Amino acid sequence: MTPTQATARFFNSAADLLNLPDRERKQLLTPYREIKVECSFARDDGSLATFVGYRVQHDNSRGPMKGGIRYHPQVDIDEVNALAALMTWKTAVVNLPYGGAKGGIACDPRQLSIGELQRLTRMFTQRLHDVIGMYTDIPAPDMGTNAQTMAWIMDEYSKFHGHNPGVVTGKPVELGGSLGRDAATGRGVLFAAECLFADLGKKVSDFTYAIQGFGNVGSWAARLFHEAGGKIVAVADVSGGIANTKGLDIPNLMLHVAKTKSVAGFPGSEPILADELLYQSCDVLIPAALGDVLNGQNAGKVKAKYILEGANHPTDPDADAVFAANGVTVVPDIFANAGGVTVSYFEWVQNVQEFRWEEEKVNAELRRVMQKAYADLSEVRKKYGCDLRTAAFTLAVDRVSMATRLRGI
C-alpha cells in the first residue's frame, strides 16, 4: 500500500474508536493545500537543471503548520501527503500548538555541488515564499537537508519579507537556531524509551539495540543510548552494516564515520548486509532511515521485542498486525521521533521572544513534553485497550477534531 493509504488506515482505526462521523473523517484527511512547483537553475557547468518540488499543508486548526523539507530521489506527492498528515498527528500527540506540513524536492543531493544546492534551495523558496511564514507554515530540516539549507531559505525569504528568522527552524545557532536542536530527535527517542521501560520496571541499560540508519537521528540515538548504558550491537547506513554481539564502541565509531562517511569497515566489527540489520538478534530495533522498511512480508523475521520508530512511517499496517500477533511492542513514530518538532517549537518560541534558552533548559523541557505525552498515551491505551500506535492516533485525532469543531469549521 502507498504511504498515504497506510496513514489513512491508522487514522481510521482511531476514528472508529472515537465514533467520528464520515464527514469529519473526510475533512481531517483532506490536505488544506497541495503545492507542486518547478525549480530550474543553472548547473555549475552552465547547463539547465529542472527539478520538481512539493509542499503539502495538511491542517492548521491547532496553529501554524509545521514540517520538514527533504531532498531525496524518491520524493513524490503521495509520500509528502502522508508525511504532512503524520506531522498533524505528531504535533497533536505532544500537544504543540501546530498543524502539519511537509515538503521536498525529488533530487539526489549527493549529486549536486554546494553551489547547486544553494541555487536549488533559493529557487524553491522563491516559489513558496507567499505560502510559508512564522505564523503560517514553518519548514525544518529533514532527510537530505540540514541547518545550512534552512539558512538559505531564511535568507531568501527575508529578501521578500524582511528579517524573519522564525520562518524556519533547525537553523544554525548563529542565525537564531536553538541549542540542542541537532540532537533533539535522537534524544526524543531516548526519552520515549525511558518512559516505556520505566513502565516495565527496567532501564535503557538493560537492553541491546540495533539501529538502522546512521544519519542525524540514528547517530545521535546511538550516542545517547550508549551514554545511557545501552549496548548497541548493530548499526547500518546506505553503505552497509556492522555488528558486534559484545557491543560496538560508539565514540570511536563516530570518529570513524566522520573520517570515512560510512560505518563500513569499522575495526572490531563484523560486516552485515544493510537490509539484514532489521533481523539482528537484539532486544530493541530502532529504524531511523527511510519509511516503509517493515511490512507484512518481512515483519515475521524481526527478532527484537521492542521497536522504537526513529524514522517516519517505517512500519506499515500489515507489519503492525504481525508484531501484535508476535508480542512485539511498537513505539510509534508520531510519539517516538517527536523530539525534533518539539525542539523546533522551542526554537520558534525563542525567535518570537528574541531570547535564547540554555541547552540544559531545552533538554529538560523536551523530557517534560515527552513524559507528559507518554502519560496521555498510556491513559488512552488503558481506556480503549489498544496498542500504542492506535492510542497515539486516537489521542491526536481527538485533539485535532476538537479544535476543528471549536473553530466552527
pLDDT in tens, 167-202: 999 999 999 999 999 999 999 999 999 999 999 999
In this prediction, residues 106-118 reach a mean pLDDT of: 97
Tens-digit pLDDT profile for residues 383-398: 999 999 999 999 999 9
State the Cα–Cα distance between residues 92 and 373, nearest whole angstrom: 9
Residue 258 has pLDDT above 80, yes or no: yes
State the Cα–Cα distance between residues 175 and 172, nearest whole angstrom: 5
Q: Which residues make Cβ contacts (< 8 Å) with residue 283, sequence separation at least 6?
A: 207, 208, 209, 304, 305, 306
How high is the pLDDT of residue 239?
87
Helix %, strand %, coil % of the chain (to 5):
50, 15, 30
Q: What are phi and psi of 308, to 5 degrees?
A: -105, 115
In this prediction, residues 266-274 reach a mean pLDDT of: 93
How high is the pLDDT of residue 223?
97
How high is the pLDDT of residue 290?
84
Q: Which residues make Cβ contacts (< 8 Å) with residue 330, sequence separation at least 6?
A: 306, 307, 309, 315, 320, 323, 387, 388, 389
C-alpha pair distances (Å), 372 with each of 200, 283, 365, 391: 17, 25, 11, 14
Could you say which of 66, 90, 102, 171 is catalytic?
A: 102
Residue 349 has pLDDT above 80, yes or no: yes
- 80 and 115 in contact (C-beta within 8 Å)? no
- 34 and 61 in contact (C-beta within 8 Å)? no
Residue 409 has pLDDT above 80, yes or no: no
Tens-digit pLDDT profile for residues 43-98: 999 999 999 999 999 999 999 999 999 999 999 999 999 999 999 999 999 999 99
The model's confidence at residue 370, banded by pLDDT at 50, 70 and 90, is very high
- 124 and 37 in contact (C-beta within 8 Å)? yes
3-state secondary structure 166-196: HHCCCCCHHHCCCCCCCCHHHHHHHHHHHHH
Written as nine digits, the cell of 375 is 502519560
Written as nine digits, the cell of 390 is 492506535
**Partners of 308 in the beta sheet?**
331
Nearest CA to 335 out of 182, 137, 222, 190 is that of: 190
Degrees to nearest 5, angle at CA 201 with 196 and 203: 65
How high is the pLDDT of residue 291?
87
Written as nine digits, the cell of 192 is 520515549
State the Cα–Cα distance between residues 258 and 45, nearest whole angstrom: 30
In this prediction, residues 399-407 reach a mean pLDDT of: 96
pLDDT averaged over the chain? 96
For residue 102, indicate whether it is catalytic.
Answer: yes
In this prediction, residues 299-323 reach a mean pLDDT of: 96
Pairing of strands 65-71, 99-105: parallel
